[in-house]
Structure 1
Amino acid sequence: MSYMDEASIDEITQGWLTRNGINSCLFCGFQTENGVVYQHQGLLFEAAKRMSVHITEAHQSAAAALLAMDRRYTGLTQVQQEVLVHLQASSTDKQTAAKMGIAEATVRSHRFKLKEKEKQAKLFLALMAQKPEREKLVPYHEGAVMRDERYAVTEAEAEKILDTYLKEGREGPLSSFPRKEKRKLVLLRHLAEQFEPQRTYEEKEINEHLKQKYDDFVTLRRYLIEYGFLDRSRDGSSYWVKHTRPAPQDF
């Protein structure tokens, strides 16, 4: 699941969201549970504070993690991204210009453009909030390698596809594996959701699970990698849900 897709502006700003008492980091999937006290580096933390510490230790800050994201997600140019990095560090225009090797006037121009971009974003959010409700689209997963209308599918369509290929129920095997991209992606997403984020799997564990779903488990495994649902080590010995990492251990 893509936590970023369902997070509010405030949640993106802090770097995590809370759903059903579970706090999830938007950048790596690390989780804490409300009501649980966590021991970390000799100190005790409540769930929200432990998550805040994680954001600082693992990502420096939510702003730093957002700026480190691929520009296709932020919509920023490389220069705009660099200017924002220096703004986050409280650098003056003169300092920023010196570090970037550009004129102060150019830095001021970029700051102005970023301010305009902020205003436009606010208006766009207001407009989108007032649009008529339509069928919800299934959000792209974090590791999606293809993001265009060819792969857009509504929740109703996804349910119909699952019904077609999972004749023995959602936990049962696939009756066949489709060639059409939309159908393929829906089924791969369904399979990927059966693996735990933040956990590292051995190859044999992946194989055993996929064997129960379809005879040609090697093809399923390959597609899960190619379509960005799973990632693996260079030697192929370990696998994990892409864009999540095993949570750091607290002692």
Structure 2
Amino acid sequence: MELEKLTIEELKNGYKYEKESGRYVCNNCKKFYEAGEIYKFGDRLFEASKAVEIHIEDEHDGSLKDILFSDSKYNSLTANQKDLVWKIYTGMSDKEISQELGLSPSTVRNQRFTLREKAKQAKLFLAIYEQAIEKKSNPEDVIVPVHGSATMVDDRYVITEKEKDKILEAEFESLNPLKLKRFPGKEKKKIVILGRIAGQFDHGEKYTELEMNEIIKEIFHDYAVIRRYLIEYGFMDRTADGKAYWLK
């Protein structure tokens, strides 16, 4: 989940509407519902905007669980705070929560207060950031979004759109079809290249190792190296036995 590409409302809803394609897309699994189409759930029919809501409720137990228990580095809540928030969400009273967690009701109220203050702080910072940074930055100085499942996030991810375009132009023989000249050692170049290659795979699809190899072979001869780095840098994941691969 790439937070920079989602609004707060889209995070809360669990899906976003892509105006260009006319699709309602689940943030979690990327399943989409096309505007104008009718979808069947049980014995009833629903338009796309309602169908995606039903999907999120049925398949992901609502939109909150996915973001609340996310292992994203941006989720600063402790395990205890996550548990507390979930219990509040399910409608438990402070007294019920205190009894279940072995806390005093006053401790639960203090946690509520702390979370509310964090929310106000975040809201003010977001308003400042959107006004000062997002609206006033030169387009070529905008930092490329970090993919949501990135590992080892550090200054190697500080890549501007201008830098990204230069890397793509220098390292690929062709962008359509995708043909890589070489796989460089520099970290920033690796990240840009791997991100572009990851775009050749579809969210929600499971790939065998053979299918992975065949797709990557069309892009670069050393498919084993690319496959390994796609996993290592968090663009893709796989089963323990390596029989299935998918985009994270």
TM-score (norm 2): 0.91
Runs (4 or more) in structure 1 with deviation over 4 Å come to none
Report SS of the residue matched to 1:119.
helix
Aligned positions of 1:1-251 closer than 5 A: 2-19=1-18, 20=20, 21-70=22-71, 72-132=73-133, 133-134=136-137, 135-242=141-248
Among the aligned pairs, what percent are the same residue?
38
How many residues are treated as equivalent by the alignment? 241
In structure 2, distance between residues paired with 1:228 and 1:71: 12
State the one-letter code of the partner of 2:10.
E
Q: CA RMSD in A?
A: 1.6
Determine if contact 1:137/1:154 at 8 Å carries over to the other structure. yes
State the one-letter code of the partner of 1:195.
F
Deviation at 1:139, TM superposition (A): 1.0
Deviation at 1:170, TM superposition (A): 4.2
State the one-letter code of the partner of 1:50.
A
Deviation at 1:146, TM superposition (A): 2.0
Deviation at 1:210, TM superposition (A): 0.9
Determine if contact 1:55/1:61 at 8 Å carries over to the other structure. yes
In structure 1, distance between residues paired with 2:52 and 2:202: 19
Determine if contact 2:72/2:149 at 8 Å carries over to the other structure. no
Report SS of the residue matched to 1:201.
coil
Q: Which runs of 5+ in 2 are unaligned?
A: none
Determine if contact 1:32/1:48 at 8 Å carries over to the other structure. yes
In the superposition, relative to structure 1, how do residues 79 and 233 fare at CA in structure 2: closer, same or farther (>3 Å)?
A: closer
Deviation at 1:71, TM superposition (A): 6.1
In the superposition, relative to structure 1, how do residues 198 and 56 fare at CA in structure 2: closer, same or farther (>3 Å)?
A: same
State the one-letter code of the partner of 1:211.
K
Structure with the larger RCO, 1 or 2 (CA within 8 Å, 6+ apart): 1
Deviation at 1:60, TM superposition (A): 1.4
TM-score (norm 1): 0.90
In structure 2, distance between residues paired with 1:140 and 1:130: 21
